[in-house]
Amino acid sequence: MEPMVPEEAVRALEDEVVDLIAEANQLAGKVHPILRDSIGTLVRSMNCYYSNLIEGHDTHPRDIDRALANDFSTEPKRRELQQEAVAHIYVQGLIDAGDDPDIWPASAVYASWLHQAFCERLPTEMLWVTNKDTGERLEVVPGQWRTHDVQVGRHVPPEPDDLPRFMARFEKAYGAAPLNRLRQIQTVGAVHHRFLWIHPFLDGNGRVARLMSHALLKRLGIGTSLWSVARGLARQEGQYKRLLDWADSPRQGDRDGRGNLTQQGLVDFCKFFLDTAIDQIRFMKGLLEPDSLLTRMEIHVEEEIRAKRLLRGSFAVLREAVLSGEVERSKIPALTGYEERGARKVTAALLEKGMLTAASHRATLRLAFPTDVVERWFPNLYPSNAGTRS
């Protein structure tokens, strides 16, 4: 699977890394640190939705919201997809909170942890795959390398007995020590591709690769809970899979590196991955621009007030939550212009609509994003038909 990293002095990749660092730094300063946690909860659900979509699992945002509230469908397949979503969000939540293992993400041990942490939360029905050639049902063991040969499209990954050797080379090439930070950022796409090329697990490799990329970007000071590369990969799924396939290709002649695989294909995939990351950061930066966000929220809240689903003064409370990260209950009368009783009614309505949340009935209030408001406050976060199923 050589070459493992794009050759040095590729100007296109160097420029992409500079842009990526600058965009990531600007996004980090867009929102209040407390509000960042609320946005992170929303982005984890979004990331899960798009990661599922790449796997061919269309789990609607409303179903994900319900599952997170422990409201599971009675329909078996729909319930399974909800359980899969909860598992993904749980694992990414550990990464975002820094509660993942203190191991470099581009490693065999970290990959096994990701696979085990995700798969052990799946229903048993989802831990079986069928051999297309023989019809044999094979069990997926959480965290364990596969013990059977597989084929992914045209690509035939290494045989099971060779997996430890390939994963050892993977660790040596992508460990925290060999490359400086800028080269590591250039190489995140290579990590993603070569892991999928090895395909160490019987199933779940794509999911692990995307979570590994998320964790790696976070460790490199680029990734945060505010954005997800999975959205960009899913929205360009055809290009994503074509470039993965291109990077699988053998060397294209004497000017195409010195390894067994194409150097140009690897560079092209790395550039695509960095481009996608930059695009997603810019997208979220636009959505989180405070003035624009508040304008969208105000328009929506005014419509809700006219429909008598919210009370006057509601927007002032939500605005405070955006700008200050949270709202002290004692401030709500002054914000809304109501006496204590009227202020409590405003608060109760916002809590009932899911626009605010609190740890207890006396705790400070923070912004929340149920599916109904996401479609208005964060347009195009999901595809236009994603939230239509009731």
Report the catalytic residues.
199
Angle (CA) 35 39 22, round 5°: 90
Nearest-angstrom CA–CA distance, 235 and 260: 31
Confirm or deny that 209 is annotated as ligand binding: yes
Confirm or deny that 206 is annotated as ligand binding: yes
Instruction: Give the burial class of 49: count Cβ atoms within 10 A of its Cβ; 0-12 exposed, 13-18 middle, 19 or more buried.
Output: buried
Nearest-angstrom CA–CA distance, 277 and 24: 9
Contact in structure between 109 and 101 (CB atoms under 8 Å): yes
- Radius of gyration, alpha carbons of the chain: 23
Q: Say if strands 128-130 and 137-139 run parallel, antiparallel, or are unpaired.
A: antiparallel
Confirm or deny that 189 is annotated as ligand binding: no
**Which residues on adjacent β-strands are paired with residue 357?**
366
Q: Which residue, 312, 351, 309, 364, is CA-closest to 335?
A: 312
Confirm or deny that 203 is annotated as ligand binding: yes
Confirm or deny that 155 is annotated as ligand binding: yes
Confirm or deny that 207 is annotated as ligand binding: yes
Residue 140 CB neighbour total at 10 angstroms: 18
Helix axes 263-287 and 11-28, enclosed angle (nearest 10): 20
Confirm or deny that 52 is annotated as ligand binding: no
Confirm or deny that 204 is annotated as ligand binding: yes
Confirm or deny that 205 is annotated as ligand binding: yes
Helices (H) and strands (E) counted in the chain, each on its own, are 17, 4
Taking the CA atoms of residue 86, residue 59, residue 68 and residue 287 in that order, the dihedral angle to the nearest 10 degrees is 110
Annotated binding site: 152-155, 203-210
Which residues are known binding-site members for ATP? 152-155, 203-210
